[in-house]
Chain A
Amino acid sequence: MKPARFEYLAPTSVEEAVSLLVEGGEDAKLLAGGQSLVPLMNLRLAQPSVLIDLNKVEGISSITESEDAVVIGSMARHRAVAESEVVRRFLPLLAESAGHIGYPAIRARGTIGGSIAHADPVSEFPCACLCLHAEFVLTGPAGTRQVRAEDFFVSYLTTALSPDEILTEVRFPKPSPGLGWGFLELARKTGDFALAAVAATVALSPDGTCSEASIAVAGGGDRPLRMVEAETMLKGNQGDDVIARAATAAATSSNPPSDIHSSGDFRRQMIEVLTRRVLTAAWGNARRGE
């Protein structure tokens, strides 16, 4: 058999899952959609001694809206996120990004929580979450805490999650009406890992200048990056020139790695191109504020 031996546990509640995680100790691993973990197990790059399957845990896969937030359970599948009416209405950027993740078979199983907790720096959801000011609800033995996307992604495959915590919910503030958005990704082929991806939102003042901007880049370093300098350049301004300058700033702020798929320099150039196109798209679909 491909994976090494492990003990399989399938809790039905978050509380049970947390206590199994605590009991399991260092070698216990959570199984969400399995689209990243199971390949690693099949290759024996990961050999957890205890596997805690979250697929039977109740109450952590729904997508709901409150007055000021969209709340997505961590076990919501990519496909459910992409097709959710609530997500498409309030967070079209997130729905768009979900459609870029892998293939239909991957999207049928993969989960938003799994993708975020795995924290691959080229993943779509971490980038989209950063752009959309998401907060993550982490549940541990002492209860829950909320961590902003900005503080969550630490480094390559490393997050603020403690070993005894489970990501249970992703909360997005509802964006102001008329917010412009864009998401673009470059990959070697449809569904492949991104070489680079850029997410951006733009809010416009009545005079057409930018009042708020948020830009996040995947593939620009060891974690998804917020492009604060580029955002600042946009505020109070408009026009192709400032978009081009902001795109250059985003590329300069990135430090993409080189690997067999692409050099870091190529990735940096592509981040500039994608940022320019995404900002142009966001400007185009934004409505001017009152």
Chain B
Amino acid sequence: MSNTSEVRIQINGEVFERHVEPRKLLSDFIREDAALTGTHVGCEHGACGACTVLLDGEPVRSCLMFAAQADGMVLETVESLASTPANLHPIQEAFWEKHGLQCGFCTPGMLLTTKALLEKNPDPSEDEIRQAIAGNICRCTGYVFIVDAIKDAAARCSSEGDR
């Protein structure tokens, strides 16, 4: 019963080929098999949003998928954002600048949810921002600075696009 199967998942441009048990969650595959621990697991039942990753460009909860289901798919995790530690993505710069994090646990999910939001809607209203991050729970900030950071990120991303 504990048959393993081979999966090939492309994460941040690198292909990871591993044998996994069917019950291995995608979030655990990312952290344990791909050793990308930027993706955080909070509740592990789809309530907190910390484990959000981009699957073929769309935000999904990696704790609500099995690694076997992502076979052949393309994932982006938080590690894909900054090209080097010194060269942050504009969304990360905005979160830094506007104090959009405190403990940082929810931040990977917030950043990727923001990336997906801004790709669809480059100039979101405050209401649209709050709707978009409603599924990402932060217990530190009270969300005010996160919303500020996303507004700032939208401005940075669009001015980058103009350059």
Asked if residues B46 and A1 are in contact (CB atoms below 8 Å), the reply is no
- A-B contacts, 8 of them at CB < 8 A, read A1-B21, A39-B45, A42-B45, A42-B63, A105-B58, A105-B59, A109-B60, A191-B135
A225 to chain B, nearest CB (A): 27
B42 interfacial by beta-carbon distance below 8 Å: no
Asked if residues B45 and A43 are in contact (CB atoms below 8 Å), the reply is yes
Q: List chain A residues, Cβ under 8 A from B140.
A: none
Which of A4, A7, A38, A190: most chain B CB closer than 10 A?
A: A38
Q: List chain B residues, Cβ under 8 A from A38.
A: 45-46, 63-66
Asked if residues A5 and B25 are in contact (CB atoms below 8 Å), the reply is no
Q: Is the interface of A mostly helix, strand, loop or mixed?
A: loop
Which positions 2-33 of chain A face chain B at CB distance < 8 Å?
2-8, 10
Q: List chain B residues, Cβ under 8 A from A108.
A: 55, 58-60
Q: Is the interface of B mostly helix, strand, loop or mixed?
A: mixed
Asked if residues B3 and A7 are in contact (CB atoms below 8 Å), the reply is yes
Residues of A within 8 A of B (CB): 1-8, 10, 34-35, 38-39, 41-43, 49, 51, 53, 55, 79, 102-106, 108-109, 189-191
B66 to chain A, nearest CB (A): 7
Q: List chain B residues, Cβ under 8 A from A4.
A: 23
A43 to chain B, nearest CB (A): 6
Asked if residues A189 and B134 are in contact (CB atoms below 8 Å), the reply is yes
B86 interfacial by beta-carbon distance below 8 Å: no
Nearest A residue to B27, CB-CB: A2
Which positions 23-58 of chain B face chain A at CB distance < 8 Å?
23-25, 28, 44-47, 49, 52, 55, 58
Asked if residues A109 and B64 are in contact (CB atoms below 8 Å), the reply is yes
Q: List chain B residues, Cβ under 8 A from A104.
A: 59, 113, 116-117, 132, 135
Which positions 115-163 of chain B face chain A at CB distance < 8 Å?
116-117, 130-132, 134-136
Asked if residues A109 and B130 are in contact (CB atoms below 8 Å), the reply is no
Q: Give 19 new A-B contacts, CB below 8 A, not counting A5-B23, A55-B69, A190-B130.
A: A2-B44, A3-B23, A6-B23, A7-B1, A7-B3, A10-B68, A34-B64, A35-B46, A35-B64, A39-B46, A41-B23, A42-B25, A42-B44, A49-B1, A53-B68, A103-B135, A105-B60, A106-B135, A109-B60
B87 interfacial by beta-carbon distance below 8 Å: no
Cα distance A103–B113 in the bound complex, in angstroms: 10
Cα distance A108–B24 in the bound complex, in angstroms: 21
Cα distance A8–B20 in the bound complex, in angstroms: 11
Q: List chain B residues, Cβ under 8 A from A53.
A: 68-69
Q: List chain B residues, Cβ under 8 A from A109.
A: 60-61, 64-65
A260 to chain B, nearest CB (A): 15
Asked if residues A105 and B3 are in contact (CB atoms below 8 Å), the reply is no
Asked if residues B135 and A105 are in contact (CB atoms below 8 Å), the reply is yes
Cα distance A218–B103 in the bound complex, in angstroms: 38
B8 to chain A, nearest CB (A): 14
Nearest B residue to A53, CB-CB: B69
Nearest A residue to B65, CB-CB: A34
Nearest B residue to A79, CB-CB: B58
Q: List chain A residues, Cβ under 8 A from B25.
A: 1-3, 42
Cα distance A47–B74 in the bound complex, in angstroms: 29
Cα distance A252–B45 in the bound complex, in angstroms: 36
Asked if residues B113 and A105 are in contact (CB atoms below 8 Å), the reply is yes
Q: List chain A residues, Cβ under 8 A from B28.
A: 1
Nearest A residue to B68, CB-CB: A8
Which of A104, A108, A109: most chain B CB closer than 10 A?
A: A104
